[in-house]
Structure 1
Amino acid sequence: MPETDLSLLIDAARQSGDIAMRFFQKNPNVTDKPDGAGPVTEADLAVNNMLEETLGDARPDYGWLSEETEDSDARMSTERQFVVDPIDGTRAFIEGGKDWSHALAIVKDSQVVAAAVYLPVRDVMFAATLGGGATMNGVPIRASEVQVEGATVLGAKPNFDGRFWRGGVAPPIKRAFRSSLAYRLCLVGQGRFDGMMTLRPSWEWDIAAGALIATEAGARVTDQHDRPLQFNNIFPKVPGVLAAGPNLHANLAVLLEPQNANP
């Protein structure tokens, strides 16, 4: 029987973890990308090479979008596309933290249809298919139903500055932080945190996999302007992300200033 797209992603995510762990906490070579795009390690590149070869061999007709591969408009003419971040949370990886991940997704008609996010240090695998629900290590997960009062939302500190909220004051929510955007979205799907937000333009490879996992777990995931996320864009960025259970999401979307600068 042919391997399903989801099982292909899960297997590739585990292989990614095996490769990355060979470099983890062993002073991997680090270089800075041009134009302040952040660091990249030899582990990022090794994982990317494996993924491009393994996934490309398995699905040669799928397009390819990865943080560590120069983009090409060839993907725009394909029916499905791989959207991957070989290591999401590279800075955490360099620092020896636990909260970096491998984020792998497949997109069709601008929607994510299969996703896997794997945290090898924690040995935690999040996975989802469109319409098929979301799981963590094979067990179904569900997003929180908390509203604003008492909610804890994942995000960088500047997002909670009053200038981004109506009335100049952030709502009464607690803030937490994790390095990987993909992991933040998965934690919302798991219900460990009530929401996540970033008011900065976000690369598709950072959010595609986590967005499906959170959505299939019952969260609402949109851009910062409360519009549906679309993937495989010519320029692969979306204008921020807001993810939470439906009630909390609705409340936060109303409270955000409609015209806000990026923090």
Structure 2
Amino acid sequence: MPANDLDLLIDAARAAGEVAARFAGPEAKRWDKPGGLGPVTEADMAVNTLLAARLLGARPGYGWLSEESEDTSARLDRERVFIVDPIDGTRSFIEGSGTWAHALAVAEAGKITAAVVYLPMRDKLYAAALGQGATLNARPIRVSDRADLDGAAVLAAKPNYAPRHWPRGVPEVKRAYRPSLAYRLSLVAEGRYDAMLTLRDSWEWDIAAGALILDEAGARVSDRNARPLRFNNPVPQVGGVVAANPLLHAALAEALAPEASA
């Protein structure tokens, strides 16, 4: 990883925040993506244009994967790839809430090497580089040390608690939720919540940045079947996300694992 990839992401994220702030959330022009993929606004597209110009302008040899750009197979042949969600939590942006984020990451050989999650309306910038720890506004952060699943504070949407996911019974946890998946990941890295999970297939741009921030904050991050995450896949999705400190992650993995047949 070039030593200044993280600095590049930080500068680009802050510039993205300035662009997004020019649009009044509820008043920003919006439309629905084809195939029921959710809403998009003129702010998403403006931020995407800015990020592509800034990041690819600085690293023309890198590939590009963004929620708001047409995907091509060209990125699969690149040594390094930007994985970007211009605005994660677009519905939150439309509602005028401050819990939306810019999520930027660099992947190399399937692993994230630099990452930023920036919430401009909350002045929160999470950042990490591989092997260098994770920070919030330049201060080191660490995951919680809770080991017991019962009573743990878990960020997850309601469908994740459906009994079919939990063969040994739905655990008694303190439930919470935030619209931005990148923010949920970062809040666990910060230690404000003990774990997060999403059991449906997840787009890489939603989780790439947060996955490294969590990992560098001491978490174990996996798919729903406790397998390591890999990025820049031909179909840019992973099989859900489960994240917590290693002990709590093991408890979650055991609770989610199918029961052995007799």
* C-alpha displacement of 1:257: 4.0
State the distance in 2 between where 1:205 and 1:99 align. Answer: 17
The equivalent residue for 1:151 is 152
Q: Is the 8 A contact 1:62 1:79 kept in 2?
A: yes
State the distance in 2 between where 1:3 and 1:107 align. Answer: 14
Q: Which amino acid letter does the alignment assign opposite residue 84 of structure 1? A: V
State the distance in 1 between where 2:243 and 2:100 align. Answer: 19
Q: TM-score, normalised by structure 1?
A: 0.96
State the distance in 2 between where 1:205 and 1:25 align. Answer: 21
* C-alpha displacement of 1:26: 5.3
Q: Which amino acid letter does the alignment assign opposite residue 162 of structure 1? A: P
The equivalent residue for 2:18 is 18
The C-alpha deviation readout for 1:195-237, integer Å capped at 9, x for no partner, is 0000110000000000000110001100000000000000000
The equivalent residue for 1:58 is 58
The equivalent residue for 2:132 is 132
Moved over 2 A (4+): none
State the distance in 2 between where 1:173 and 1:116 align. Answer: 29
The C-alpha deviation readout for 1:72-114, integer Å capped at 9, x for no partner, is 1000111000000000000000001111000000000100000
Moved more, 20-29 or 108-117: 20-29
Q: Which amino acid letter does the alignment assign opposite residue 103 of structure 2? A: A
Q: Which amino acid letter does the alignment assign opposite residue 48 of structure 1? A: N
Q: CA RMSD in A?
A: 1.2
The equivalent residue for 1:237 is 237
Q: Is the 8 A contact 1:225 1:258 kept in 2?
A: no
Q: How does 1:50-199 map to 2 (within 5 A)?
A: 50-147=50-147, 148-167=149-168, 169-199=169-199
State the distance in 1 between where 2:18 and 2:190 align. Answer: 24
The C-alpha deviation readout for 1:154-180, integer Å capped at 9, x for no partner, is 01011012221023x211211100011
Where does the alignment leave 5 or more consecutive residues of structure 1 unmatched? none
Q: Number of residue pairs matched? A: 257
* C-alpha displacement of 1:4: 0.5
The equivalent residue for 1:48 is 48
The equivalent residue for 1:202 is 202
Q: Tell whether 2:4 aligns with 1:4.
A: yes
The C-alpha deviation readout for 1:105-129, integer Å capped at 9, x for no partner, is 0000100000000000001000000
* C-alpha displacement of 1:38: 0.4
Q: TM-score, normalised by structure 2?
A: 0.96
State the distance in 2 between where 1:57 and 1:182 align. Answer: 25
Q: Is the 8 A contact 1:127 1:135 kept in 2?
A: yes
State the distance in 1 between where 2:243 and 2:31 align. Answer: 32
Q: Is the 8 A contact 2:26 2:94 kept in 1?
A: no
Q: Percent identity?
A: 60
